[in-house]
Structure 1
């Protein structure tokens, strides 16, 4: 039995510049962190006593004789990519719902790759784990996805991730004084809107519109440098909130599918209650929203958004890890 634990992520600035259609021409950069909410994948070799060869348990239960029969696209693609000929049982559990803007699908792909590699007795480096997950999602499944989620899930930590024109990437941890990092975390509030969406559909509309939004994407790139400058200085942390507010306006302009009247109402209610700025996480359309709020006003914001689920969280630094390693199933 192998169990992996892979974090979800929050992307603060630069989202949109991690699409290959953009960074292969202009380069890209994002500022994001993994958080202490996880995707758990357990894998074991299936004993040869069943009619099925593959058992996959998530929101559905699939018992299949061949990989091609598996409906879950990531499981089917990963098993094909890794040439898994031996019978397998795979279980998925998550701390937060899927299709919610926290990179859950990429965390799943990264976690499954990590688990199957361990089951075969192989160690896989974080950078290779991220690269393989990007390849599977973008080239095999043909999802309209960026590249930051897989990297953040594999590496973990609060990072500046740069995407180079040749398709490679760099991961640089953001170095902050501990008290400054605590101050930043203490100003953040995460809420679940209750609205789920298919990110690939929204991402496609953004990708199709990238050439028409070059100015906005350049400003979103610049905001990464500005945010790091603020965090590494003695400037009021509220400046990050104002930068988030500005970037939310840029993000909304990338596609008319990014926001909705319901999301706009949530955002306006949070700002009216005292939030300085915030954004919808992920491609858009639903899922989680993060706000920067002074601690003294957080109760007021919670009351204004009492119809939503408030999810306390912390940054984490571990990335995808094998947390149980019993390859013989003992």
Structure 2
């Protein structure tokens, strides 16, 4: 039995510049962090006592005799990619609902790759995890996804990720004093809108508009460096980070008509009126989680103002995807 644990992420700046259609021409850059909300996968070889060869349990349960019969796209394509010729049982349990803008799909794929490597007696490198997950999601599943979610899930931590025009990806940890890091962490609040959506569908319009969106995507990329300067410069107040979030949210809404809607806009205005300095919807848009920068003395007021939405406390994660149980007990003979 192998159990993997893979973190979800909060993307603050640069989202949209991590799509190959953009960064292979212009170079991309994102700033974000992984948190202690995880995708857990229990993976083991399935003994040959059943009518089916593979069992996959997530929000549904699938019993399949062949890999091609598996409906779950990540499971199907990842098992094919690994040329799995034995039966497997895969159970998923997540802290965050699917289609909520926090990289849950990529966390699943990264965790599955990590688990299958462990099941086969191999250790996964963070770079390898990210690279293979990106390939599977973009080239095999053919989803409209960027490259930051897989990278954050694999590496973990508080990072700037550079997406180079030659296709290479560089992960650069953000190093700031511990007290400033804690102040920053404690000033970010997460709320769930209750709206689930498929990121691939939401972002389809954005990808089609990439050429039109290049000027705003360039501005969103530049904000990564501005945000980094705020974080590392002790003479700058962290509140300025929140102000930048407000600006990037306005730019993000310009990328596609599906990024926001009336309910999300009203939620955002309530938060600002209650004392939030800035915020943004996470992921592709259309629903999921909203992150706000809020000073501690105003956080209770914000919770009351958004009482119809679920507030999710969290801490940062610095481990990335990891194997937390390694007991490969069943062997075929």
Bin of the TM-score, shorter chain as denominator length: over 0.9
Provide the rounded CA distance (Å) in 2 between the counterparts of 1:46 and 1:198.
Answer: 31
The SS at the match of 2:256 is coil
Q: Is the aligned partner of 1:57 residue 2:85?
A: no
Paired position in structure 2 for 1:6: 6
After TM superposition, the structure 1 = structure 2 runs for residues 32-111 of structure 1, keeping only pairs within 5 Å, are 32-111=32-111
* CA distance, structure 1, for counterparts of residue 155 and residue 330 of structure 2: 27
Residue 188 of structure 1 is matched in structure 2 by: 188
SS at match of 1:221: helix
For residue 273 of structure 2, give the secondary structure of its aligned residue in structure 1. Answer: helix
Q: Does 1:275 align with 2:276?
A: yes
Distance 1:175 1:209 in 2: 35
1:189-227 Cα offsets, whole Å, 9 max, x none, are 000000000000111111111111111111111100000
* Poorly superposed stretches of 4+, deviation over 6 Å: none
2-structure distance, mates of 1:270, 1:82: 46
Q: Which residue of 2 aligns with 1:173?
A: 173
**Structure-1 residue corresponding to 2:18:** 18
Q: Residue 243 of structure 1 corresponds to which residue in structure 2?
A: 244
Matched with 1:117 is: 117
Paired position in structure 2 for 1:290: 291
Unaligned runs of 5+ in 2: none
- Alpha-carbon distance between aligned partners in 1 of 2:327 and 2:5, rounded to the nearest angstrom: 15
**Distance in 2 between the 1:195 and 1:64 partners?**
31
Residue of structure 1 equivalent to 2:304: 303
In 1, distance between residues paired with 2:305 and 2:97?
23
d(CA) in 1 for partners of 2:24 and 2:233? 32
1:155-194 residue CA offsets vs partner (Å, 9 max, x unmatched): 0000000000111100000010111101111111000000
In structure 2, the partner of 1:328 is: 329
Q: What is residue 143 of structure 1 aligned with on the other side?
A: 143
Partner SS, residue 92 of structure 1: strand
Q: CA deviation at 1:281?
A: 0.1
Task: Report the alpha carbon displacement of residue 329 of structure 1 after superposing the two structures with TM.
Answer: 4.6
Match of residue 156 from structure 2: 156
Give the Cα–Cα distance (whole angstroms) in 1 for the partners of residues 241 and 124 of structure 2. 36
SS at match of 1:248: helix
**How far is 1:97 from its partner?**
0.5
What CA deviation, in whole Å up to 9, does each residue of 1:232-267 have, x standing for no partner?
112111100110000000000000000000100000
1:46-73: CA deviation from partner (whole Å, max 9, x where unpaired): 1111010000000101001000000000
Q: What are structure 1's unaligned runs of at least 5 residues?
A: none
SS in 1 for 2:79: helix
Deviation (angstroms), 1:268: 0.4
State the distance in 2 between where 1:210 and 1:303 align.
39
Question: Which deviations, in whole Å up to 9, do the C-alpha atoms of 1:67-121 show, x marking residues without a partner?
Answer: 0000000000000000111011000000110100000000000000000010000
**In 2, distance between residues paired with 1:178 and 1:218?**
31
**Superposition RMSD on alpha carbons, in Å?**
0.8
1:227-238 superposed matches below 5 A: 227-234=227-234, 235-238=236-239
Show the counterpart of 1:226: 226
Alpha-carbon separation, structure 1, partners of 2:163 and 2:326: 33
Moved more, 279-288 or 200-209: 200-209
Measured in 2, the distance between the counterparts of 1:106 and 1:219 equals 26
